[in-house]
Amino acid sequence: MNAQPPAAAATDISTTPEWDAVGDAVAELADTSLRELFAADGGRAGKFTIHACDLHVDFSKNLITESIATKLFALAKRADVAGKRDEMFAGRHINTTEDRAVLHTALRLPRGEELSVDGQDVAADVHAVLAQMRTFAERVRSGEWKGHTGRDIDTVVGIGIGGSDLGPVMVDKALRAYQTAGIRARYVSNVDPADLTAVLAEIDPASTLVVIASKTFTTQETLTNAHAMRRHFVAELGDESAVAKHFVAVSTAADKVAEFGIDTNHMFEFWDWVGGRYSVDSAIGLTCMLTAGPEAFDEFLAGFHAMDTHFATAPTRENLPIIMGLLGVWYSDFLGAQSTAVIPYSEDLSRFPAYLQQLTMESLGKSVRLDGADVAYPTGQVWWGEPGTNGQHAFFQLLHQGTQLVPVDFIGFANPAEDVQTSDGSGSMHDLLMSNFFAQSRVLAFGKTEDEILAEDVPADLAPHKVMPGNRPSTTVLAPRLTPGVLGQLIALYEHIVFVQAAIWGINAFDQWGVELGKKQAGQLLPYLTSDAAPTKGAAAFDGSTDALLAAYRSARGRS
Ligand SMILES: O=P(O)(O)OC[C@H]1O[C@](O)(CO)[C@@H](O)[C@@H]1O
């Protein structure tokens, strides 16, 4: 397969007639509302609902018409979303600033499929590592793998940060119902010592396996926590040789793993063509395979692959990632939305919004196009959310009556992992949860008018405060159950939404240069925090604010 970088894409999408046509289409919304659109077309819900894999997705409560959708599809065509998608799947070096292929989709290719990239069958490499993970997970889960003192492993600690943490943490929580081998997972990510010490207080090193996850194996937080954890284990277990039984690594950097003192036979590899925030389905997911088992992990990967196949093959008008990606572009570039809320009506999925924050914001927070020119339009949005119903009692007030446009993705499941009956005998707690799920998107879309409120004998001076404006957009994603497969589908859906938006905006969704300078400056500042002698003014001065903050910090720490 040809792995040459694609030719520089120099077109400014905002100068195209297709962009102008979408801009003109905003006027179509001026004299209508979701109430009216639904009243005028009894078939609207059906027209704007897609079934993709196990997901039933209703986007009829979005601020679109069929004519707006047609213009958005034309924009996707103009941006060559399908062509760019095919380049990604084929392994071309679309991450141009790092000259890398972007092949998280290869991580979930079924066994036996081939994909040759840069002269290497990457699918075979993926399955070799999966086999290594499976064998290891089975040894740990069956009790064949013992700790240094002969104890079975009952706790796995993942140490990593960003893409080497958020995915496993989210998946581990989501697949709680599948954890049947009596192995629990804990995670340490923050360089704040509170994170480490809280986990150390909970674990018994003799029955704990530590998985150090770092693509580069150079990340300050991860290496600092890993060294501290290692010291603790050696002190508790009394012997350096304990490390071999209690520490394994997931990384692309074998030399650095060996330098840390981990036998590379206990290292699970992945590759530079897997971005950190796209890596939960690589060996980075090892902690999840240890807790939920290899079969659940296989099902998880199959879910991703099903969504990949949908994205790669479904016609544009039925292609869920393309539709949802376009809706994001519509809201952010044409209707002025600056954030998107994702609200899972599932406590098990409570870390999904945090996971999506890295996926979307590290990918799409860019101000220059692939050719280095400034973008002339907003890119990316702030993604945020909390599970329902909790969010209803916190920030939903702003969603319902505030002045900002915040499109919402509601995610819910028809069947719970387990249910509990309500004490009045009226039904199940899950049904109660889901009645809220359906109510919220309905209220956002249709609201309640002043007339309707006055008709309920509300005093006239109170009525304006009770008006629910409605016409607030949302998409509803309903799946049968939160299975490993459905979880894989959901993650792949958002990965591809990000891809579609980056393709339209002409930006690189796979680098993250913006995180580097802060890391570098922290390294430069550290000596000025820790040295006993006060930093010399002049050459050592950073800026007025930072110098004063450092002085206040040193004083509070009792340093001169
Ligand atoms: O897996 P690593 O190399 O430790 O990196 C962790 C995270 O740090 C980042 O590079 C950002 O600082 C993320 O992109 C990445 O997921």
- The DSSP secondary structure of 186-211, one letter per residue, reads EEE--SSHHHHHHHHTT--GGGEEEE
Please identify, by atom number, the ligand 1 atom nearest to the C-alpha of residue 515: 12
Q: Whose CA is nearest to atom 14 of ligand 1?
A: 276
Quote the pLDDT of residue 448.
98
Calpha distance 548→473 (Å, rounded): 46
* Ligand 1 mutation target, pool 164, 222, 274, most atoms within 8 A of CB: 164
Q: Are 208 and 147 in contact (CB under 8 A)?
A: yes
Q: Which residue has its alpha carbon closest to ligand 1 atom 9?
A: 162
Please tell me the distance from the alpha carbon of residue 300 to that of residue 107, in angstroms, as a whole number. 11
| Buried b / exposed e along 243-260 (16+ C-beta atoms within 10 A) | bebbbbbbbbbeebbeeb
- Ligand 1 centroid to 460 CA: how many Å? 56
Cα dist. 425→79, 420, 428, 429, 450 in Å? Answer: 55, 11, 8, 10, 36
Structure-block tokens of residue 392: 């209803």
Q: Which atom of ligand 1 is nearest the CA belonging to 216?
A: 3
Q: For a pocket test of ligand 1, which of 219, 284, 286, 361 has the largest count of ligand atoms closer than 8 A to its C-beta?
A: 219
Residue nearest to atom 8 of ligand 1 (CA): 162
For the CA of 164, the nearest atom of ligand 1: 1
Residues annotated as catalytic (active site), given as ranges: 362, 393, 519
Output b/e per residue, 138-161; b: 16+ Cβ within 10 A: bebbeeeeebbeeebbbbbbbbbb
Give the H/E segment covering residue 298. helix 294-313
Strands 55-58 and 474-481: antiparallel
Q: Which residues contact 222 (CB under 8 A, 6 or more apart)?
A: 159, 160, 161, 164, 189, 212, 213, 214
Pocket test for ligand 1, best of 170, 357, 512, 519 (most atoms within 8 A of CB): 512
Residues 6+ apart with CB under 8 A from 167: 277, 279, 280, 284, 285, 355, 491
Q: Ligand 1 centroid to 423 CA: how many Å?
A: 47
- Please give all residues whose beta carbon lies within 6 A of any atom in ligand 1, as ranges: 161-164, 214-216, 219, 222, 276-277, 362, 512, 515
Q: Are 298 and 234 in contact (CB under 8 A)?
A: no
DSSP 502: H
Cα–ligand 1 centroid distance for 215 (angstroms): 7
* Ligand 1 atom with the shortest distance to the CA of 161: 6
H/E stretch holding 71: helix 66-78
Which residue's alpha carbon is at the smallest distance from atom 13 of ligand 1? 162
Among residues 136, 140, 115, which one has the least CA distance to residue 125? 115
Indicate which residue's Cα is closest to atom 16 of ligand 1: 163
Residue 268 half-sphere exposure, CB side, CA atoms within 13 Å?
A: 28
478 beta partners: 56, 412
* Of 2, 219, 196, the residue nearest 90 (C-alpha): 2
State how beta strands 55-58 and 247-251 pair.
unpaired
Q: Which atom in ligand 1 lies closest to the alpha carbon of residue 222?
A: 4
CA 213 – ligand 1 centroid, Å:
10
pLDDT at 3: 46
Q: What is the pLDDT of residue 5?
A: 47
Say if CB 410 and CB 345 are below 8 A apart.
yes
Written as one string, the DSSP assignment of 355-415 is HHHIIIIIHH--SB-TTSPBPSS----EEE---TTGGGGTTHHHHHHSSS---EEEEEEEE
Q: How far is the CA of 531 from the centre of ligand 1 (A)?
A: 28
Coil, helix or strand for 12?
coil
Atom of ligand 1 nearest to the CA of 284: 1
Nearest ligand 1 atom, CA 251: 1
- Ligand 1 centroid to Cα of residue 362, in Å, is 10
Question: Has the ipTM of the complex gone over 0.95?
Answer: yes
**Which of 159, 215, 498, 517 has the most ligand 1 atoms within 8 A of CB, as the residue to mutate?**
215
Token pair 């009216």 is at which residue? 36
Mean pLDDT per 10-residue section of the chain, whose length is 560 residues = 48 96 97 97 98 98 98 98 97 96 97 92 97 98 97 98 98 97 97 98 98 96 98 96 96 94 94 97 98 98 98 98 98 98 98 98 98 96 98 98 98 97 90 98 98 96 98 98 98 98 98 95 90 64 89 90
Centre of ligand 1 to C-alpha 192, Å, is: 17
> What domains does the chain contain, in order, with CATH numbers?
25-92+314-505 (3.40.50.10490), 107-297 (3.40.50.10490), 519-557 (no CATH)
DSSP category for residue 560:
-
Question: Separation of 116 CA from ligand 1 center, angstroms?
Answer: 26
Pocket test for ligand 1, best of 97, 216, 250 (most atoms within 8 A of CB): 216
Q: What is the pLDDT of residue 424?
A: 84
Q: How far is the CA of 164 from the centre of ligand 1 (A)?
A: 7
Instruction: Give me the residue label for tokens 């064998």.
Output: 135
**Contact assessment for residue 471 and residue 443, using Cβ atoms and an 8 Å cutoff:** no
- From the CA of 221, how far away is ligand 1's center (Å)? 10
Residue closest via CA to ligand 1's atom 7 equals 162
